[in-house]
Chain A
Amino acid sequence: MTADVSSAAAEFARRQQSPLQRIQHQLHGRPWLSPLFLLFVTFVAFFIATPTFLTANSMGILLQQTAVVAALAVGQTLVILTAGIDLSVGAVMVLSMMVMATLTKDGGMPGVLGLLIGVALAVGAGAINGLLVTRINLPPFIVTLGTLSIFTAIALLYSGGESIQQEHLPGLLNALGNDFGIGKFRLTWGIVVVIAIYAVMSFVLSQTAWGRYVYAVGDDAESARLSGVPSKRILLAVYTVAGLVYGIAAWILIGRAGAATPNAAPTANLDSITAVVIGGTSLFGGRGRLIGTLIGALIVQTFDFGLSQMGVNQQWRVLATGLLVIIAVAIDQWIRRVKA
C-alpha cells in the first residue's frame, strides 16, 4: 500500500522532469556516458573537417600518441579518486626513464635490470608522495607540487641534461615502440600494455575489497576509518601503485619517443589530469571509473591530433585543451546537482 503510493509519487516526479533533467539524471547514474558522447562528437567533427582523419593510418598514430597519457592517467585516476591530485606524474615518469636509459646505455647494464631499477624507483617515488601525505598530513597538492620540482631536478642532474638515443639502448627498453599490424592498423606493444593496465586496474577497482576502500576513502577517509577501513594504508598504497604505473609509462615513452629525453612530455601533468576530469571522475573524490579516464585520454589526444591535422598550430591546440577542461568540469558540476 505504502509502496504503491511512493512509487506513484516517483512516477509523478519522473513525468514532471524536463528532457534536460532526464538527461542530467541519466548522466548522474552513468558518468562515462558524457565523455563517450563527447568523443563521438569530436570524431564526427574532425571526420567532416579533415578527410585524412578517419583512416587506419591516422587512427594507429592517434592510439600510439594516446598510450603514454592514458597510462599516466591510470595513476592519476587512483589518486583523484581518493580526493587527491598528483602533479608529479610527469616528473616521476621522466626520472624513471632517465635512470633506465642511463644505466643501460651502450651495454652498461642488462636491459631487464635497468628496467626493473627504473620501475622500482618510480614505485619508491610514489611511496614518498604517499608517505608525505599520510604521515605528515600534508595536502596532496602541496606534496606533489614539491616532488614535481625535486624529481624534475634530480632527473636533469642525473642525466646531465643529455638525451640518450634509442641506438644506444638495449632492445628491451625500445620494445614497446615496436609495432605490428592488425589489418591496416599499426599498433605498438605499448598500446597493448596500456590496455592491459586498464583491464587489470578496472578489475581491481570494481571487484576487490581494496578497490572498494579506494572509493570509500575518497568519499570520506574518517568515516571509512570508523568502518574499519585502514584509510592511511589505502592512501599510501594508492600513491605507490600510481608510481608503479608511471614507471611502466616511462618504458612506453622510451619506445614511443625513440629516445630518453630529460625534458620529454612537458604537458604530461595537465594532460593526465584533463583526461581524468573529462572522463567523469570527480575532483572531490569517490566518484569515477577508469573506462571514463580512457575515453578522456582519447578525447584529449583526438583534439590535439585532429587540430594538428587541420594545420592548427600548437598554441591554439593548448588553448583548446584548456577550454575542454573547463567545459568538462562545468558539466560535471551540473550533473552533480541532480536531485536524487
Chain B
Amino acid sequence: MSDPILNVTGLNKSFGAVHVLHDIDFGVYAGEVTALVGDNGAGKSTLVKCFAGINAIDTGQMFWEGKPVTLSSPAVASSYGIEFVYQDLALADNLDITQNMFLGREITKGPFLADGEMEAKARETLSSLSVRTINSVRQLVSSLSGGQRQTVAIAKAVLWNGKVVFLDEPTAALGVAQTRQVLNLVRRLADHGIGVVLISHNMNDVMEVADRVAALYLGRVAAEVKKSETNTGQIVELITSGRSGTIGLPAATAVQSA
C-alpha cells in the first residue's frame, strides 16, 4: 500500500466549548478517490477547513508527502497544490466567473491585472471540463443558477492543476446530467494521479466513484475501509451508529460520544 500524499494524525478541533473533531487520523492518496462520509454535523466540512488553514487545529500534525507541514492559510495550502470546493462554494456574487476563478491568485503584468489572459484560461478550463451550461465567462456569479455556481466552484479548483482536491458535496445542487459529469471528472482527476477527497451523502455516488471510504461519526473516524472490501449497508451502519459488526468505534466510545 502506498503512503498518503497528505495526511493528518491526532487532530482535535474545538469551537469554544464544543469539541467537534476527536483524534482524527485521515489520509489522502495520490490517484485515489477517498469518500468522506458522515451524518449532518459529523464534522466533515470542519475537517476540510482544517486542511485549508481556515480552522486552526488544537492538536495534531499534518504531513505532506511524509514531511511535517503547517497549513496555516488557504494560500499556504494552495502553494502545496491543495485545492478546495467548499460546501458553501465561497464565490463572490459581485464578481464575474473569470474574476472568481482567479480570486486570490490573479495573473498580473507588473502591478496590473492581465484580464485577457485570465479570461482565456477560464474559458479553456471550462471547455476542458466540457461545461456547456455556461455561455460567457464574463457573466456575474450573482446571475448564475445553483448548478452553474457549483460548476464554477469546481472549475476554480481544477484550474490550478492541484495535487489534492477536496470537494465538499460538489453535486448537491446539480441535475442528473451535471452530476454525471462531476462524477466522471472526479474519476478522471484520480486517474491523472490527483488525490481526491469527495464528501457526499449519496451512497450510490460514493460506491461508484470512491476507492476508499472514511466514515465520520460524531467527530471521530469510525472506520476507513477500501471500497472493494465494503458495501453500502456497512457504510450506512458506520454513518448512523459508528460501528458495523467487528469494525468501527468500540461500543463504549460510540455511546459516550453520543
B-contacting residues of A (Cβ < 8 Å)?
2-3, 207-209, 212-213, 215-216, 218-220, 222-230, 286-287, 340
Contact = CB atoms under 8 A, between A and B. Distances in A.
A216 to B, nearest CB: 5
B92 A216 contact: yes
A224 B93 contact: no
Contact of B90 (A2, A223, A340): A223
B29 interface: no
Nearest to B99: A212
Interface of B is mostly: loop
A115 B53 CA distance: 43
- Listed from nearest, the 10 A-B pairs whose CB atoms lie closest are A228-B104, A226-B90, A223-B90, A340-B143, A228-B74, A286-B94, A227-B104, A209-B106, A227-B103, A219-B92
Interface stretch (B17-25, B33-41, B108-116, B217-225): B108-116
Contacts of B74: 225-228
Given A208-B112, A286-B93, A229 B142 contact: no
Nearest to A207: B112
B94 A207 contact: no
Contacts of A218: 94
Given A208-B111, A208-B113, A209-B106, A3 B135 contact: yes
Nearest to B113: A207
Interface in B63-85: 73-75, 78, 84
Contacts of A287: 94
Contact of A223 (B92, B105, B108, B140): B92
A228 B106 CA distance: 11
Contacts of A207: 112-113
Interface in B46-62: 52, 54
B108 A209 contact: yes
Contacts of A213: 104
From B52, B78, B91, residue with most partner A Cβ within 10 Å: B91
Given A207-B113, A212-B99, A226 B84 contact: yes
A22 to B, nearest CB: 16
A189 to B, nearest CB: 27
Nearest to B88: A223
A217 to B, nearest CB: 9
Interface string B138-156: 0010110000000000000
Contacts of A3: 132, 135
B78 to A, nearest CB: 6
Contact of A228 (B94, B99, B105): B105
Given A216-B103, A286-B93, 7 more contacts: A208-B108, A212-B99, A220-B93, A222-B90, A226-B74, A227-B90, A227-B103
B95 A226 contact: no
Nearest to A7: B135
Nearest to B141: A219
B31 to A, nearest CB: 26
B113 A212 contact: yes
Contacts of B84: 226
Contacts of A208: 108, 111-113
Contact of A212 (B78, B95, B111): B95
A220 B92 contact: yes
Given A212-B106, A286-B93, A226 B54 contact: yes
Contacts of A2: 132
